[in-house]
């Protein structure tokens, strides 16, 4: 081995006795963060070559840096060791597995060290938080998350908080944190850009939400999301979300050719999300003995964030209740009456999602498709579509869900 500072041959150690007094914290960090692909130092290039030939690894530079930390002022050496382990991973967040035990064992000592600055203690807390996040220790995450602040000193707390908000699907907050990091730090801009892209892809649905790798961890994570009030696939810790229409009992279709006297005409408004229409609004009109008696209208907070809001206002959905809180109110409103749709084939999948997202196994109501009813009892059309029926009877479809539900009422009443 050669002295890292002067290149003198050594029998042991990392630097020679002559160079030991020159060792500083910044030199430790420089060693730990050595770019082995482009070291920028002729001596270190030679050392990397020697390491490779002798079967060693360039990652040994991290070990050298931690060893160097023993030379500097003792009351700061623990923090320097922790930061050296962190600096070795410029493209990831947090210390590696080998250094994790040291961080967790010595973190409190750092936090209680009066020689450390507030920003340095914040960095240690952030690295500890990342360990808890990585290990799915959600109670410990909760106890520490509010203690982490964002300042101009260290980039790592930004990445750690980004990791947390990405995992709990608060993409707006995650993006906000990364944009601040990009403004404040010139280092690791490539990584910050990558994380921004990943966040946008998860927000738009190009990439799936993050989730733990196995069932037990997923149950614990979804229970944590429940605690935070965040929509997710499982909805609560005991019931499972029905994943597809096949998981539901088939819809009970209205078979009678008579027009029902009492019914509820409905319209579900959806927004597009990565190959899927996501229900965002439910409008309905209750008819008793042919007369309109009552209206129902609610927005939903969508389970997945639409790529763009085109049919409703974004703020109406963001301020709305989850589907599982709203749809049962609609079922109560319908009071078991026939649900009437103008083009049920188009509304079927959205209605199925509302049932599934409400953790119901089946829809208790019978469903009537007005188009199918016209086809069964009328020979007036060559082709039966929503457009042809509306045009024939000069009924305006309307632009919003309430108007479309009312258009259904006007059409079905033409059959009496």
Q: Classify domain 246-413 at the CATH topology level.
A: Nucleotidyltransferase; domain 5 (3.30.420)
Per-residue pLDDT of the chain (416 residues; tens, 9 = 90+): 788 888 888 888 888 999 999 898 889 888 888 877 888 788 888 888 888 877 777 677 878 888 888 888 778 888 888 888 776 444 445 555 557 778 888 889 899 999 899 999 999 999 999 999 999 999 999 999 999 999 999 999 999 999 999 999 999 999 999 999 999 998 889 899 999 999 999 988 888 899 898 878 887 888 888 777 677 766 554 556 565 666 678 889 998 888 899 999 999 998 876 556 778 899 999 999 989 999 999 998 877 677 778 888 888 888 888 888 889 999 999 999 999 998 877 788 889 888 888 878 889 999 999 888 888 877 776 777 888 888 888 888 888 999 999 999 998 888 77
Q: What is the pLDDT of residue 111?
A: 92
pLDDT for the residue numbered 161: 95
Per-residue model confidence (pLDDT) at position 95: 55
C-alpha 378/C-alpha 392 separation (Å) is 12
- Tell me the backbone φ, ψ of residue 301, rounded to 5 degrees: -80, 110
| CB within 8 Å of 153: residues ≥ 6 apart | 119, 120, 122, 123
- How many angstroms separate the CA atoms of 401 and 316, rounded? 14
pLDDT value of residue 283: 96
User: 173-208 burial, b for 16+ CB within 10 Å, e for fewer?
Assistant: bbbebbeebbeeeeebeebbeebbebbeebbbbeee
Tokens of 289: 């003995």
The pLDDT assigned to 409 comes to 93
**Which residues, including other chains, have CB under 8 Å from residue 69's CB and lie 6 or more apart?**
28, 77, 80, 81, 84
Say what the pLDDT of residue 89 is.
47
Dist. CA 414–CA 290, nearest whole Å: 11
Task: Give me the residue spans of the domains in the chain.
Answer: 20-167, 246-413
Buried b (16+ CB within 10 A) or exposed e, 92-111: ebbbeeebbeebeebbeebe
Q: Is the dihedral of CA 361, 366, 371, 372 positive or negative?
A: positive
Distance in angstroms (rounded) separating the CA atoms of residues 290 and 369? 17
Per-residue pLDDT, 176 = 95
Q: Containing H/E element for 352?
A: helix 344-357
């Amino acid at each position: 081995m050669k002295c890292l500072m002067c290149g003198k041959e050594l029998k042991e150690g990392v630097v020679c006795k002559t160079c030991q007094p020159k060792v500083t914290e910044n030199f430790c960090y420089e060693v730990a963060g050595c770019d082995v692909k482009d070291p920028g130092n002729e001596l270190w290039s030679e050392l990397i070559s020697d390491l490779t030939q002798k079967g060693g690894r360039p990652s040994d530079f991290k070990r050298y840096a931690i060893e160097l930390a023993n030379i500097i002022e003792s009351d700061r050496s623990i923090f320097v060791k922790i930061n050296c382990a962190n600096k070795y991973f410029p493209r990831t967040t947090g210390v590696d597995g080998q250094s994790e035990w040291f961080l967790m064992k010595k973190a409190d000592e750092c936090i209680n060290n009066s020689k450390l600055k507030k920003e340095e203690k914040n960095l240690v807390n952030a690295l500890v938080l990342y360990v808890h996040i990585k290990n799915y220790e959600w109670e410990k995450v909760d106890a520490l998350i509010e203690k982490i602040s964002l300042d101009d000193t260290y980039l790592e707390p930004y990445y750690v908080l980004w990791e947390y908000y990405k995992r709990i699907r608060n993409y707006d907050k995650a993006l906000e944190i990364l944009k601040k990091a990009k403004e404040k730090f010139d280092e690791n801009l490539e990584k910050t850009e990558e994380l921004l892209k990943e966040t946008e892809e998860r927000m738009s649905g190009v990439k799936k939400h993050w989730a733990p790798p196995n069932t037990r961890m997923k149950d614990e994570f979804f229970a944590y999301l429940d605690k935070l009030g965040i929509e997710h696939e499982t909805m609560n810790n005991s019931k499972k979300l029905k994943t597809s229409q096949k998981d539901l009992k088939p819809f009970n279709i209205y078979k009678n050719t008579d027009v029902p006297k009492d019914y509820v005409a409905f319209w579900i408004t959806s927004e597009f999300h990565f190959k899927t229409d996501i229900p965002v609004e439910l409008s309905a009109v209750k008819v008793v003995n042919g007369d309109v008696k009552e209206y129902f209208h609610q927005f939903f907070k969508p389970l997945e964030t639409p790529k763009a809001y085109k049919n409703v206002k974004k703020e109406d959905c963001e301020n709305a209740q989850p589907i599982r809180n709203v749809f049962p109110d609609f079922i109560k409103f319908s009071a078991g009456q026939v649900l009437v749709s103008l083009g049920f084939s188009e509304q079927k999948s959205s209605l199925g999602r509302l049932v599934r997202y409400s953790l119901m196994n089946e829809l208790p109501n019978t469903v009537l498709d007005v188009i199918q009813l016209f086809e069964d009892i009328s020979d007036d059309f060559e082709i039966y579509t929503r457009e042809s029926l509306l045009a024939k009877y000069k009924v305006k479809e309307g632009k919003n869900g309430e108007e479309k539900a009312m258009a259904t009422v006007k059409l079905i009443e033409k059959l009496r």
